Structure 1
Amino acid sequence: MTVDLSKIDLIVDTYLIPFGLKLMAAAAIWVAGGFVIRGVIAGVNRAMAAKAVDPTMIRYLDSFLRVALRIGLLLAMLGVLGVETTSFAALLAAAGVAIGAAWAGLLANFAAGVFLVILRPFKVGDAVMAAGVSGIVKEIGLFGCTIETGDGVRVTVGNNKIFSDSIFNYSVNPTRRVDLSCQLAHGVDVARAMEALRAAITAVPNVVTEPKPVVEILSFNVNGTLLAVRPSCANEHYWQVYFDGNKKIAEVALRENWPVPEQHSVVRQVSP
């Protein structure tokens, strides 16, 4: 049995050599494109860092650029190999729609994360209450935020849940009001009590002088007069002022010898 070398040469010249050249060109594009992508991303990151862009935004753009440029590089390789990229792009779009339907919740969290970074209702290090969780923001991620609560628990909350709920940021303003109260018994001189409490609460460490501490009548109840005692401080001193303020109120009550608040009832006997 003889082998027709001319046919083999024809197959090699017609198919194998052109395909090998295309394969080498595609490999070269992949390697060179990888270097270009890394250079572009590094340059963009340096530019954003120089402009003091939020680190979370840098991570978002970094991830987006890596995926987008890799997809573009893959399409370029397929074009060199002779693959019809239009049908591949349509297949990729269909896959994207299917994945989006399956991962609707994750995509909603991702979209909400983008808005959190753009609108910046809070940043890493802020004291917030978001989606019912109160604490210090440790990380703003692609799909969720990590908040460390006051009792030392790290909670990860989905970005969509945060963005769709009310967000309380305690670190935006320089001071925060501390709401305390003091229940006076019947018969206590209210004006004198207010003056004593105002002087005592002003002396609490880290209470600011502006805005001035407020001591006013909040309401009247069956036990007597209820006073509102409201000093202000920086957010990081909130609980120290809260506890020290209550101690000062107790000290003033003991020093002034105020009676224990109690309900007073009047009983009248009506003759038939």
Structure 2
Amino acid sequence: MKTRTIQRTRLVPHTIDGKTEMVLDKYTVDVPVPPRDWDRLVLTAVTAAAAFIAVACIAWSTASIGDLLDRATITPAAYAAAAVFDLVWLSCMALEWLARYDTERAALPRRAGYVALAIAMGAVGAHGWIADQFAIGLVGAAVSGLAKSMWTVVLRHHAKPLDDRTQQWVDGQRAKAGGHLAMVAVRRELTRAEALVAAERAAVSAASGGAPETPEDDMETPEKGEQPPGTGPALPVSGPMTMADAVRTALSCGITEPDSVLRYVRKVADANAKEESVLRTLRMARRSA
């Protein structure tokens, strides 16, 4: 068995002048070396080869399809569009890799990848046919087919499908996590909507010159000059009323404070009543009384 020497440390007591301290002591030990994992090395090498093939395929297809599209548009746009053909099926394969533990989820990107591959191969073949080199076009199209086939084999080797019960358990956990994630966005949306409603109410209240109406407004503590609830004439709260009628009604009910009269006028007569107008009407009503 092969071994390798490594250095480790440990705490040991060390005494000087009768005082003991724990210090680090370095020592070496021989540990067995595990056998080389040839399966992992081979799989890594195959994956690297598949990546190299994909890069070569993108270069070939982009050059071929770019030359085809260059006949109808400017060169940068032509080659940018040409790169899309192979990047689409490669992206689908990446999604298939992410879903390698879920056969059902991996099915859609796999089918979409085959469709994108067929379109890319057709475009490469069309370039060869237009250039009067149909045989080269077929060989070039085969490059994309071989790259896709290689990656399909590699992905199948990496894929680890789950049994039915384990897959159901995973789906349940994924659904719960997805629900929690969705509620984050929903709560954010509701908070934003409530903030907009509050801002709208504040803006309307500021425009009318009063405080925002709340359910507690009907239970306000009576101020000086107002009659507490149940101790005096009930103030009529239904309209329509003119400003003068509202002022006279407030005075007849014993409401004499200008602020209280102003609130009553805005409540039953005109929500946008100006304070100067109400005070002027209040002075006239007092003089006429």
Q: Give the TM-score category using the shorter length.
A: under 0.3
What TM-score do you get using the length of structure 1 for normalisation?
Answer: 0.26
Give the strand-richer structure, 1 or 2: 1
Of the two, which has the highest radius of gyration?
A: 2
Give the helix-richer structure, 1 or 2: 2
Tell which has more relative contact order, 1 or 2 (C-alpha 8 A, sep 6+): 1
